[in-house]
A and B are shown apart, each in its own frame.
Chain A
Amino acid sequence: DTAVSQTPKYLVTQMGNDKSIKCEQNLGHDTMYWYKQDSKKFLKIMFSYNNKELIINETVPNRFSPKSPDKAHLNLHINSLELGDSAVYFCASSQMGLAGGTDTQYFGPGTRLTVL
């Protein structure tokens, strides 16, 4: 039933570790996104993929690497985690995402990452 799902919901890890967050959507959408929401609740786009192809790659450290094995999945791998990476990471999807970004985006439940 779940439209956009993410795992894990919570992730607590030590500085320097490598971790992955998985995202899946069953809406048949062509475009998927990763957002970061910091402690001040500011939601900022990180990446966007359309049909497995990278469309948006905002200024994000190259320790963050998205991977899209198929258009229903967009995973986020983070290397050498730092304290400042602590945030809530949201995955989202939309029907097309190329028509001027006018398609409604549907968000996953979020992954709360805490780096100690």
Chain B
Amino acid sequence: GQNIDQPTEMTATEGAIVQINCTYQTSGFNGLFWYQQHAGEAPTFLSYNVLDGLEEKGRFSSFLSRSKGYSYLLLKELQMKDSASYLCAASAGTALIFGKGTTLSVSS
């Protein structure tokens, strides 16, 4: 079956670093997406990993290990505006299978 697991909630303080983990079990896996969703808004694309390793994009980095079925999103120098839900999504066949999202709360 298809299964994506990520923590439901995380909290952190401004300026800190936070790592959001995601494990997946999907057939026909092609790659792993991370999306950010602020409350009441649409999901927006953050990153995509198809090969093992780390992809860095400014304050955000994403890591993938295909053999372990594992990914993480690393957010550095946290800002209040980073408070949002972070959705892990596995590309399987022609569809994206989303996890239930991790709600990150950043406090000052």
Contact = CB atoms under 8 A, between A and B. Distances in A.
Interface of A: 40-45, 48, 55-56, 90, 97-98, 100-102, 104-110
Tell me the dominant secondary structure on chain B's binding face.
Answer: strand
A107 B43 contact: yes
Given A107-B43, A108-B42, 14 more contacts: A41-B85, A41-B100, A41-B101, A43-B98, A43-B101, A90-B43, A97-B94, A100-B28, A101-B92, A101-B93, A101-B95, A102-B50, A104-B33, A105-B45
A105 B95 CA distance: 10
Contacts of A109: 41-42
Interface in B84-108: 85, 87, 91-98, 100-101, 103
B41 A42 contact: no
B9 to A, nearest CB: 11
Interface of B: 28, 30-31, 33, 37, 41-45, 48, 50, 85, 87, 91-98, 100-101, 103
Contacts, number: 59
A40 to B, nearest CB: 7
Contact of A42 (B91, B94, B98): B98
Given A102-B31, A104-B48, A45 B41 contact: no
A23 B80 CA distance: 32
Contacts of A41: 37, 85, 100-101, 103
Contacts of A101: 30, 91-96
A90 B42 contact: yes
Given A100-B28, A101-B30, A106 B45 contact: yes
Contacts of B33: 104-105
